[in-house]
Amino acid sequence: MLNPILNLKNLEENMIIVEGGIMEIQKVRIELTDFMICRFPVSQQLWLELIGDISSQPSGTNPGMPVVNVSWSDIHSKFFPAIRTKFQGLSWCLPTEAQWEYAARGGRYPLRNFIYAGSDEIDEVSWYEGNSFQELYQPGF
């Protein structure tokens, strides 16, 4: 399935619950409670709908591409206040490193011990310098 252009209309349906559990990172056991995470990166379209400005984006990009060139401060001072106004009652935050890794590994129910999150074949699950042709994003990843 190709990634949808993440926007205000489809954001909630692309949020998934990750059941908490215990994971080990460098021989340290971490217990995680349930949390929500989005299936896809924040798109330029979603950023535009919430913030009203994508002037920080490189020229020649499109609404389906992930937002880039935003700082931690931009996310906390602009994005989260705007999204909390639209979706009241939900808690919005960046995932911690442990939450992100746990979700990437398959959470409580990993299918396999993959080398990469979701596969042993990096080109199937990753957009990186070796296969990107210097593009920022490949729809479908």
Confidence of residue 141 (pLDDT cuts 50, 70, 90): very low
Q: Is residue 43 part of a domain?
A: yes
Q: Is residue 97 part of a domain?
A: yes
Q: Is residue 131 part of a domain?
A: no
Q: Is residue 138 part of a domain?
A: no
pLDDT at position 1 is 40
Residue 85 burial (CB < 10 Å; 0-12/13-18/19+)? exposed
Q: How far apart are CA 21 and CA 78, in angstroms?
A: 32
Q: pTM (2 decimals)?
A: 0.77
- How far are the Cα atoms of 33, 39, 74, 128 from residue 15, in angstroms, in the given order? 16, 6, 21, 24
Give how many domains the chain has, as a whole number.
1
Q: Is the pLDDT of residue 46 over 70?
A: yes
- Our measurement of the distance from residue 129's CA atom to the centroid of its chain's CA atoms, rounded to an integer in Å, reads 19
Q: Is residue 5 part of a domain?
A: no
- CATH number for the domain harbouring residue 85: 3.90.1580.10
- How far are the Cα atoms of 33, 46, 79, 109 from residue 74, in angstroms, in the given order? 27, 14, 7, 34
- DSSP assignment letter at 11: T
* Three-class SS state of 53: coil
Confidence of residue 81 (pLDDT cuts 50, 70, 90): very high
